[in-house]
Amino acid sequence: MRLTAWEEERLLIFAAAELARRHRSVGLRLNAPEAIAMMCDAMLEAARAGRGYAEVEAAGYGAVSPDEVIDGVRELVDDVRLEVLLDDGARLIVLVDPLRRGGRSGSDAALGPEPDAARGPEPDVALIPGPGAIRPSPGEDPAAEGEAPKALPRIHLEVRNGSRRVIRVSSHFPFDRVNARLEFDRAKAAGSHLDIDAGSSVRWAPGETKTVPLVRFGGTGT
Amino acid sequence: MTTSRLSPEAWRARFGPRAGDRIRLADTNLWIRVERDLQAPGDEPIWGYAKNLRVGLAQGSDAGPSELDAVVVGAVVVDPTLGVVKADIGIKDGRIVGIGRAGNPSITDGIDLPIGPHTAPVPGYGLIATPGAVDSHVHTISPPLIPAALSGGVTTLISAGFDEPPAAMERTLRGLEGFPVNVGLQANARSMDDGPLDALLEAGAVGFKIHEDYGAYPEIIDHTLAYAGAHDISVSLHTDGLHESAELEDTVAAIGGRTVHAYHVEGSGGGHVPDLLGLVREPNVICSSTTPTIPWGVSAGDETVGMTVLNHGASFGVPEDLELIRERLHPATMAAEGPLHELGAIQIVNSDSQGMGRIMETVRRTFQLADAMKHWRDSAAGRGHPGLPDDRPVPGAGPGHASEDNHRVARYLAKVTIEPAITHGIADHVGSLQAGRLADIVLWRPAYFGVKPEAVIKGGHLAWSPLGEGNATVERSEPTRYRPEWAGLAHGAPSVSVLFVSGVAHRRSLARRLDTGRSIVVVNGCRGLTRGSLAMNRATAAIEISPVDGRVTLAGRPLASEPLASVPLSRRYFLR
């Protein structure tokens, strides 16, 4: 057989999935490893049968329904990554939120703010959010926040993309040093960067003009 | 610095919880609240395509002397001494520089953790970071215990005797060399002369264990503690369950007010039957519990007879052995053990691995207990006892409601981190994420907190994680299994791990003899400790305990919880 570790690992998935099928067949609801194994096994089998990428992916999403898992298991499965052997070779498939827990930010939003403690206990235990849930802070709690941001000078600049290509600029790039094809008053931008969240960026289509907020860098400037 | 333009939900999707947010710890009913955010608002370092952790942006371009080796970015630090704080964790030379604000001091104010051209970013957004657990009762029976330990978040092992003779200690230490864990071996004190103990310290013992199966007579206790006092080492104690040489009062008299770590004080692990638990009254006795009875479950008694027979040289074919062992079991002491932890009158949880305990469950069971005791506090049996800590519950919030459990979580986390570290003289190195400690950090997804780590960082390097298959285009492609990262492999592990020894050991000759690549670190501050020396679990409890059946009362009221039929951090997470 000349089995590689890669094939042995797929046997491990099969064994776990077979166990999960046995448990499901006697009416047991699945735990997180069982649910993930079932999804992976379904995709491996679909790939073995010669199905295409989209069908294999669909087999993964359809392998386990949320009501087949133990309460609180949906929240334990965020993404499932698996490489399957399609007819054009090995391919990565990522199932995102396959048990439809709603995504981290979405489920947080659905929770709403902390209930007012003075109103007494919550009426329904079933409303307790799932494992690892985040209850957003009910409001701005200055004592809880870090050091208040120092007010740094802010300006707005009109910026035109004179390039034939799309240009994006990220949050902390020194704005006076961006691509020369962005046309604006560079002197005014000296020592500043886009006043947007860390790791965000702004996009200019060819010929597009946008007014963007800039903020001075803090720090030593050295 | 920038004021966020994102909605709070969109911000959390990028950077994890904010100050003031509450996080449910896995499937327990424990909720922690993020007390502060030390990161640079608007200048949070974040690595990737179109992100800001680049040269001259959130990363400085100079490799100055304070440049970090690694930084865990944006995790919620949960530490028994630091609280619950959103922060960056700076790492240099295998140790923690501090928790604070990482970035480029050229462009951001208040940076105390400079990111430079050699700093490896470890993304921590949305994760919880705790210190690696210190398991202070480990029987080094067989090598499979180490993968189990790491998979449960344990990064420091203090063994519990049975490691002698010196030649066997050398074999064990050589065998442990390639595992990414800190190690200290306690040898059994089996003599009332100094000579045999000297030989064990010279061979690298970190301290001593007194065990009734080799003799826990008052004379041995007295001699070992006198010897320990002269050498600044810890002593752990499993007392005389037979009452052959001593009863509880005699053991207490032999200890004579000196510091000792009393193991499995509930009693079914061994020791004075049935009232060993009376040691919680003694401020100089640091008490610990082992995993099987934490928290008390409906099957705890069922498994104990077989476990004890197989661990203590007994035989199923010898009725006398079985009678002796059955007499060690007392539901009343199991019922009181959790409440005594809640009072802080038992200080430590440890595994008793492979010798009546489970090392992958040291952390897990501690938080199961924290959860169980939160419920107990809401029951009639758990209300109003003197000395119960004030956890500032939200008025009217019953079980399952989002009160703030930061203090509770810190108290219980301390039982597997800072308290055993102080007790064994290693708190300058492990047990918290304070500056100067080894960068032994466990990262957890909140939904998996306490049960299955996201990554174990040992000495500043990734060492153990649920890794995926080797051919894949991405990390963590299924099947994911807990396995060594580079620093967890045999030749990487010694560079991130230490061997704890006493000041008696000649470190250079020991290093030569063991051919070890580990740092050899001398323990200190082991003597003169009382519970007041610990971080959070400092209480004594003036309990009364029945010498007949072990029933415990405090101020005239029964101190007891009910056995649990089911626990969190369990069925949802494990295949079978």
Distance from CA of B268 to the nearest CA of A (A): 32
ipTM exceeding cut-off 0.90 for this assembly: yes
Report domain B8-126's class: mainly beta
pLDDT of residue A104: 37
Query: Which of B22, B106, B576 minimises the CB distance to A219?
Result: B106
Cβ of B34 within 8 Å of Cβ of A199? The answer is no
Banded model confidence at residue B1, pLDDT cuts 50, 70, 90 = low
Look at B478 and A133 and tell me if their CB atoms are within 8 Å. no
Q: Report the first-to-last Cα separation within chain A, whole angstroms.
A: 63
| pLDDT tens string B490-526 | 999 999 999 999 999 999 999 999 999 999 999 999 9
Confidence grade of residue A87 (pLDDT, cut at 50, 70, 90)? very high
pLDDT digit string, tens, across residues B282-305: 999 999 999 999 999 999 999 999
Q: Active site residue: B238, B264, B312, B429, which one?
A: B312
Q: Do B50 and A36 touch (CB under 8 A)?
A: no
* Vertex B29: Cα angle to B28 and B32 (nearest 5): 100
Q: Give bridge partners of residue B33 from the DSSP assignment.
A: B22
The chain A residue lying nearest B570, using CA atoms, is A31
Q: A 34-93 residues with CB below 8 A of B?
A: 34, 36-37, 40, 70, 72-73, 75-76, 80-83, 90, 92
Determine the average pLDDT of the residues in B259-268. 97
Cβ distance of B109 and A150 shorter than 8 Å: yes
DSSP assignment string, chain A: ----HHHHHHHHHHHHHHHHHHHHHTTPPB-HHHHHHHHHHHHHHHHHTT--HHHHHHHHHHSS-GGGB-TTSGGG-SEEEEEEEETTEEEEEEEESTT----HHHHHHHH-SPPPGGG-S-S-GGGS--TT-EE--SS--TTTS-SPPP---EEEEEEEE-SSS-EEEETTS-GGGS-TTEES-HHHHTTEEE-S-TT-EEEE-TT-EEEEEEEE--S---
**Is the Cα torsion angle B524, B527, B528, B533 positive or negative in sign?**
positive
> Does residue B243 carry a catalytic annotation?
no
Nearest to B226 by CA among B213, B210, B214, B248: B210
**Residue written as tokens 């998935």?**
A13
Nearest by CB to residue A70, choosing from B15, B108, B572, is B572
Interface test with B, best of A86, A169, A172 (most B CBs within 10 A): A172
Q: Which residues pair with B350 in a beta bridge?
A: B290
**B32 Cβ contact partners less than 8 Å away, ≥ 6 residues apart:** B22, B23, B25, B76, B78, B84, B404, B405, B406, B409
* pLDDT for the residue A120: 42
Distance from the Cα of A51 to chain B's closest Cα (Å) equals 20
Task: Quote the pLDDT of residue A149.
Answer: 57
CA angle B37, B39, B40 (to 5 degrees): 125
Residues of chain B with CATH 3.20.20.140: 132-428+529-558
Query: For B262-272, what is the mean pLDDT?
Result: 96
The answer to whether A141 contacts B20, with C-beta atoms less than 8 Å apart, is: yes
Contact criterion met (CB < 8 Å) for B447 and A80:
no
User: Could you tell me the residue ranges of all domains in chain A?
Assistant: 5-96, 154-216
- CB contact (8 A) between residue B474 and residue A81: yes
Residue pair B237/B284 in contact by the 8 Å Cβ criterion: no
Positive or negative torsion for Cα B553, B556, B559, B562: positive
| % of chain A exceeding 90 in pLDDT | 77
Instruction: Decide: helix, strand or coil at residue B410.
Output: helix
Contact A201 B50 (CB under 8 A): yes
Residue A151 has pLDDT above 80, yes or no: no
Instruction: Provide the pLDDT confidence category of residue A148 given band limits of 50, 70 and 90.
Output: low
Nearest to A198 among B26, B44, B449 (CB): B44
DSSP 8-state class, residue B276: G
Would the CB atoms of B394 and A5 count as touching at under 8 Å?
no
Q: Chain B within 8 Å of A31 (Cβ-Cβ)?
A: yes
- Lowest-confidence range among B35-39, B150-154, B395-399? B395-399
With beta carbons under 8 A apart, name residues in chain A contacting B60.
none
Longest CA–CA separation in chain A, Å: 73
Cα B305 from Cα A141, distance rounded (Å): 54
Distance (Å, whole) CA B356 – CA B268: 9
Q: How far is A191 from chain B (nearest CA, A)?
A: 9
Q: Contact at 8 Å (CB) between B317 and B352? A: no
The CA distance from B410 to B519, in Å, is 30
- Are the CB atoms for B243 and B273 separated by under 8 Å? yes
Q: What is the pLDDT of residues B183-236, one digit of tens each?
A: 999 999 999 999 999 999 999 999 999 999 999 999 999 999 999 999 999 999
Q: Write down the pLDDT at residue B558.
A: 98
CATH 3.40.50.2000 fits B132-428+529-558, yes or no: no
Yes or no: say if B34 and A143 are a contact pair by the CB < 8 Å rule.
no
Residue A122: per-residue pLDDT: 41
Question: What pLDDT sits at residue A137?
Answer: 83
Closest Cβ opposite residue B9 in set A108, A133, A152: A108
From the number of C-beta atoms within 10 Å of its C-beta (0-12, 13-18, 19+), residue B298 rates as exposed
Between chain A and chain B, how many beta carbons pairs sit less than 8 Å apart? 239
Give the pLDDT band (50/70/90) at residue A119: very low
Answer for the pair B88, A198: CB distance below 8 angstroms, yes or no: no
Return the structure tokens found at A198: 């860390």
Start-to-end CA distance of chain B, whole Å, equals 50
Specify the pLDDT at position B62.
87
Residue written as token pair 């029964």: B558
Q: Which residues of B touch A68 (CB under 8 A)?
A: none
**For residue B370, what is the DSSP state?**
H
Chain A hits for B449, CB-CB cut-off 8 Å, are: 132
Q: Are B574 and B382 in contact (CB under 8 A)?
A: no
Strands, E assignment, B80-132: 83-92, 95-100, 102-103, 113-114, 120-123, 128-131
- Domain covering A154-216, topology: Urease, subunit B (2.10.150)
Cα maximum dimension of chain B: 76
User: Domain A5-96 class?
Assistant: alpha beta
Pick from B2, B9, B291, B344: which is nearest to B137 by CA? B291
Banded pLDDT at A102 (limits 50, 70, 90): low
- Residue B239 in this model has a pLDDT that exceeds 50: yes
Instruction: Give A130-151 as a 3 state SS string.
Output: CCCCEECCCCCCCCCCCCCCCC
Share of chain A above pLDDT 70, in %: 82
Q: What percentage of residues in chain B have a pLDDT greater than 70?
A: 98
The pLDDT assigned to B2 comes to 63
The SS3 assignment for B72 reads strand
Nearest CA in chain B to A10: B479
Name the pTM for this structure: 0.95
Mean pLDDT, residues B79-103: 97
DSSP letters spanning B378-401:
TSGGGSS-TT-----PPTT--TTS
Q: Name every chain B residue with its beta carbon within 8 A of the beta carbon of A191.
A: none
Which of B37, B401, B572 lies closest to A73 in CB terms? B572
Distance (Å) from the alpha carbon of B99 to chain A's nearest alpha carbon = 13
| Tokens read off for B131 | 């210190």
Q: How far is Cα B502 from Cα A55, in angstroms, rounded to an integer?
A: 63
Q: Is the pLDDT of residue A111 over 50?
A: no
pLDDT for B51 beyond 80 = yes
Q: How confident is the model at residue A139 (pLDDT cuts 50, 70, 90)?
A: low
Mean pLDDT (chain B) is 95
- The pLDDT-based confidence of A140 (bands split at 50, 70, 90) is low
Which residue ranges does chain B devote to CATH 2.30.40.10? Answer: 8-126
**CB atoms B19 and A120 under 8 Å:** no
